[in-house]
Amino acid sequence: MALLISVVLLGGCETQRDGLDYSAIARKVGPPKAGHARIVVLREKGFGGIVDGAWDVQLDGMPIPGLKTGTFAFVDRPNGKHELGATEAAFPGVTRHEITAQSGQTHFFVARTSKRKNAMIAAAGATGGGLLGLALGTAFTSGYDNPGPIDFFPLDDAAARTTIAELKLAQ
């Protein structure tokens, strides 16, 4: 129960990130080169504090480093199918989200804690944590669509540009 209360209380914290904003970067680097698309992953403001570490996010198995609260990261990739992924130490599952990149387009995704991870945190809090909480949480959430720790949600261009205006480049 104490863990759940801590998560709720820390959920209201907000941190300030230093770095370049998306519009400045887009002007500096320009559009993706011919035959490529830009894939932008962002993590909204609103959660911070002592447990605000960078998430282990990958695109096609290659790390996208530094994705913390209030930041974004981007990569340009050739046309075709790609996979956003996420893992977390001691979390029993991997997130896999397929993307079809189209030349000249920018694809925005917001990364949020997955429904499964939220349910496992609640189960651990309700059982007092420990191995019993982990075992019960794993059992109760085994049928979730995404077995991993992070959900990726596509954003339309207008919503993405509004949200990303407040964020800074991941370091």
Closest Cα partner for 43 from 156, 158, 157, 153?
Answer: 153
Quick: pLDDT tens for 93-132. Answer: 899 999 999 999 999 999 998 888 887 777 777 666 666 6
pLDDT of 166 higher than 50: yes
Q: Which residues pair with 39 in a beta bridge?
A: 75, 107
Pair 150, 64: CB distance under 8 Å: no
User: Distance between CA atoms of 146 and 154, rounded to whole angstroms?
Assistant: 15
**pLDDT reported for residue 81:** 97
User: Distance between CA atoms of 82 and 99, rounded to whole angstroms?
Assistant: 5
pLDDT of 42 higher than 50: yes
pTM over cut 0.85: no
Question: Which run of H or of E encompasses 108?
Answer: strand 106-113
pLDDT of 137 higher than 80: no
**pLDDT reported for residue 129:** 62
Quick: pLDDT tens for 66-102. Answer: 899 999 999 999 999 999 999 988 788 899 999 999 9
